[in-house]
A and B are shown apart, each in its own frame.
Chain A
Amino acid sequence: MRMRRVLIAIGSMVLLAAPVLAFQPSAGQGQFVPIDQLPPADQLPAAPLLITAYAFVWAVLMFYLWSIWRRLGKVEVDMRALEQRSANRNRAR
């Protein structure tokens, strides 16, 4: 009886081991493959990356210039409003 249980346990383990082994991930990469050896379809085109990089520089600089211009404009508007308020107060006196 005891022997039978041991055999069932071993058999179950063998049966379970098969799918576990079957779904093991493949072995890790042993060495890196330089990108020039890949087929041309897998290679990234350089021109869009270069153009994107240069366009980003321009876009960021233009945005920053616009942001300074906007902030400066707001300060000037506030200053004019303040001057107007002071002038009105002086006139009222």
Chain B
Amino acid sequence: MRKLFTPLSVLVALMFIYAPVMIASAPYESTMGLVQKIFYFHVPAWMAMFTAVFVCGIASVVYLFRGKQAADRVAVAAGELTVLFGAIGLVTGPLWARKAWGVWWQWDARLTMALLLELIFVGYLLVRKYGGPGSDKLAAAMAIFGMANVPFVYVSVNIWRTIHPLTTVVPTLGTSMGPRALAAFWFSALSFMLLFALLLTLRVHLEERRAELDRLYLAEEE
């Protein structure tokens, strides 16, 4: 992965530079017009966030039941990325909503659950930072509960009456908006997923260096 890091970084940067060109070439949606183009990076940000939640949750399970420190390092890295991509989703969403719905925020099931998911992982990071001894295990349990929340966030728009578009918007994008919209969306989604992999690698490396530093401090004290 280390050998791939530099070429992958260049590729992701180029993809992020080219993504607006593809998004601009996608057709306008009939009722929302230009502002609907936020969709092309709002949804990929949530896809990256959900992936980060699952990585954090699964790594937390491994850490809790097998006690592997490497899994804990992956969990904390993914937990931070969950908050990062969640923040992107929670800011771009209201910017879209202000024009499309006429309000910045609506306390409906999807938006509220998404906010709660973000807050769970903000809590996860706070517990890890300020929780003291044993907080890593408490935080791991929080991450598992956070992961269990993801399917409910995803299907909330189909179960409850909400103002938010349904999950069918993405699978039907090719037929409803045409191939250019579909290409722009998946290009953007791929960019975000590669970016997630890149940032995760970088953040795990930081945790590994911190662990190495701790080990050296302990060795020096002995």
Contact = CB atoms under 8 A, between A and B. Distances in A.
B206 A78 contact: no
Nearest to A35: B102
A75 B98 contact: no
Contact of A75 (B45, B95, B209): B209
A76 B206 CA distance: 10
Given A46-B33, A46-B99, A60-B87, A53 B209 contact: no
Interface stretch (B148-156, B177-185, B210-218): B210-218
Interface stretch (B56-64, B105-113, B118-126, B195-203): B195-203
A86 B220 contact: yes
Interface string B17-58: 000100000000001011101100110010000000000000
B199 A64 contact: yes
B88 A75 contact: no
Tell me the dominant secondary structure on chain B's binding face: helix
A8 interface: no
Contact of A68 (B45, B92, B206): B206
A72 B84 contact: no
A64 to B, nearest CB: 6
Interface residues of B, number: 34
Tell me the dominant secondary structure on chain A's binding face: helix
B44 to A, nearest CB: 10
B91 A53 contact: yes
A85 to B, nearest CB: 7
B205 interface: yes
A44 B102 CA distance: 9
Interface of A: 35-36, 44, 46-47, 49-50, 52-54, 56-58, 60-61, 64-65, 68, 71-72, 75-76, 78-79, 82-83, 85-86
